[in-house]
Every structure is written in structure tokens, then in C-alpha cells.
Amino acid sequence: MTSYRAIQKKVTSPLVNMGPIKLRQPLPTQGVENVDPFLLLHHYGPYAISEFNNPFDLGPHPHRGFEPITLLFKGEQLHRDSLGNEMVVKAGGVQWTTAGRGIIHSEAPTKEFVKKGGDLEGIQLWLNLPAKYKMMTPNYQHLEDAQIPKLFSDDKSIQLNIVAGHQQEIQGNITTQTPVNVFTGNALKSGSISIEIPEEHESLVYLLEGTIVVNDTDTLEKGKDQMVTFKKEGKNVKITAHANSVFLILSGAPIKEKVTQYGPYVMNTQTEILEAMRDYQQGKMGHLY
Ligand code: MN
């Protein structure tokens, strides 16, 4: 007997303006403040990038107290940070930054990609760190598509990319600070897969492209409802694709601490936020030019 995870909320992925950038923000959204330990989910693009259209160009900025993660689905981006990393991430690749006590980074399509032109699409995810790890040494992990283990559905029509955590016996290559599963999926029409979610985890499914049915009952379709969050009852999430689709599955052990967020900092108290602002101004988070 399979018991499906009970669905808690089904929501759209509204377009929001982040400065000059227009992107989708399913989390936080009306009625869903976060899905602890996941604080924010941005879905950007696809943008048709060219020398005349390059909206997603994020200059140097700081972070403290959490992990900003980029999952790139289309295009090519250059990541630079105050630890000295300078890495190109391509479609299917992942950048996992542990901001810890402070990092400064920048992200933009590579010059070559802008010149050549093409689609850019990605997910930016903010994963919280518990109080005891907020001031840890910053770190950067980088995976190319080929370094991400794949799991196929029995009918071979859904490919699950195991970025972090594990599914069945397959283990992802990202080191996480708390128990977290980050999987992306590429589905062919009529493909079906059942995914096990650990009992103590909070969880969600987000649709980037196509149409899927979750647990035989709830449809997600691009431009309509695109995310479901789950209650903790039940063991499995079933996904059936009604079109060629791309989706994201997140689950994690909730941190259950007070979150105080201001701009690029996620701490537990207002005092810690003020300290972060001061430390950044004093150059204690490093430098990036
Ligand atoms: Mn950032």
C-alpha cells in the first residue's frame, strides 16, 4: 500500500519585479511564508538573452546566514565570489553557496553567451542554516550536470537528478548542513514516478515547464498553479506527466527557529542583522571587484 503525502496548499507562481528583473516567485507567496528550511524560491526566465537584452546581471552583493543555491536549466552563467571562485555554470549545473558568516558574489550570463545569444532559465533557492551554523566558514560547491547522479522511473520516461540528499540507494554529491533533498526532474509525456519523502521533512513540488498531476489528484500547469506544498502525513509523492515537463522537488528537516530576514541576510534576531550590515560595511565579508 502506498500512502501519498497529503497536499497542504496549491499556488500559482506570480511574476514579481526584482529591480529591473522580472521573475516568478512561488515562495514566499500569499499564505505560504516559507516551507522550513526553504525560505525563498525564484524562477527566472526563460529570457531570450542577447547583447540588447541582458536583464539577469547581478553585480557583487553580500549574503550571511543561509545558503543561496542556483540550479541552471538553460544558458550559461559566470559565478564569481570573495573566496576567489570563478566558475562557469552551464545548463543542468548547480552552484551551492554556503554564505555562513559572509560571502560576496556576482552572477551573470557569460560574455560569450550574451554575444552568441540564447535562452537563460534558472532557479534560485534560499536554504536556511540553523543558528549554530549561521556564522560558519563560507563555502562554495559546484556540480556540472555530469556530476549529478540520475535515477530513472520504471517506465524510463522520467529522469530524476539527485542534486543533494538521496533517493533509494542514490546519493547526491552536495554536502548539506542539515538533512535536505533537492531533486530536479525531466519527464516525457505520460511518464510516472513515485518519490519517497522522509517522514520528518517538510516538502514541496514546483513545476517549471509542462503539465503534471501530483498524487493522481492535483494538476500543476505552467501559467496556472505551479507549486504544491505538503503536510507531513504520508510517505510518497507521485508525479504523472501529461506533457513533456520539468519540475523541482524539495524536502528538508525543518529548523524551527525564529527567522529575521533583511535584504541579503537571514539571521535569528534584529541585533544579528545590524551586526551583518556593519560587518559588511567594515569589509569583514571579504571583497569582490
Ligand atoms: Mn546572491
Mean per-residue pLDDT for 19-45?
95
Q: How far does residue 254's CA lie from ligand 1's centre (Å)?
A: 23
Task: Record the cell numbers describing residue 146, joined without a space.
Answer: 555530469
Q: How far does residue 61's CA lie from ligand 1's centre (Å)?
A: 6
Q: How far does residue 79's CA lie from ligand 1's centre (Å)?
A: 10
Q: Does residue 54 belong to any structural domain of this protein?
A: yes
Q: Does residue 18 belong to any structural domain of this protein?
A: yes
Q: Does residue 69 belong to any structural domain of this protein?
A: yes
Q: What is the pLDDT of residue 1?
A: 56
With b for 16 or more beta-carbon neighbours within 10 A and e for fewer, the 244-260 pattern comes to ebbbbbbbbbbbebebe
Q: How far does residue 243's CA lie from ligand 1's centre (Å)?
A: 33
Q: Does residue 286 belong to any structural domain of this protein?
A: no
Q: How far does residue 282's CA lie from ligand 1's centre (Å)?
A: 19
* Confidence class for position 20, pLDDT limits 50, 70, 90: confident
Query: How much is the mean pLDDT over the chain?
Result: 96
Taking only the tens place, the pLDDT of each residue in 47-99 is: 999 999 998 889 999 999 999 999 999 999 999 999 999 999 999 999 999 99
Q: What is the pLDDT of residue 187?
A: 98
Q: How far does residue 45's CA lie from ligand 1's centre (Å)?
A: 16
Taking only the tens place, the pLDDT of each residue in 122-172 is: 999 999 999 999 999 999 999 999 999 999 999 999 999 999 999 999 999
Q: What is the pLDDT of residue 289?
A: 85
Q: How far does residue 130's CA lie from ligand 1's centre (Å)?
A: 19
Tally the domains of the chain: 1
Q: How far does residue 74's CA lie from ligand 1's centre (Å)?
A: 19
Tell me the three-class secondary structure of 225-251, residue by residue.
Answer: EEEEEECCCCCEEEEEECCCEEEEEEE
Structural domain that includes position 86: 7-281
Q: Does residue 289 belong to any structural domain of this protein?
A: no
- The C-alpha atoms of residue 160 and residue 167 are separated, in whole angstroms, by 9
CATH of the domain at 258: 2.60.120.10
Mean per-residue pLDDT for 253-275?
98
Q: How far does residue 70's CA lie from ligand 1's centre (Å)?
A: 9
- The C-alpha atoms of residue 78 and residue 60 are separated, in whole angstroms, by 12
Q: How far does residue 68's CA lie from ligand 1's centre (Å)?
A: 6
Q: Does residue 184 belong to any structural domain of this protein?
A: yes
Q: How far does residue 115's CA lie from ligand 1's centre (Å)?
A: 24
- The C-alpha atoms of residue 240 and residue 78 are separated, in whole angstroms, by 34
Contact 192, 185 (CB under 8 A): no
User: For the chain, what percent of residues have pLDDT higher than 90?
Assistant: 96
CA nearest 11: which of 218, 179, 236?
218
Task: Record the cell numbers describing residue 258, joined without a space.
Answer: 525564529
* Confidence class for position 185, pLDDT limits 50, 70, 90: very high
Q: Does residue 228 belong to any structural domain of this protein?
A: yes
Q: Does residue 130 belong to any structural domain of this protein?
A: yes
Whether pLDDT at 2 is above 80: no
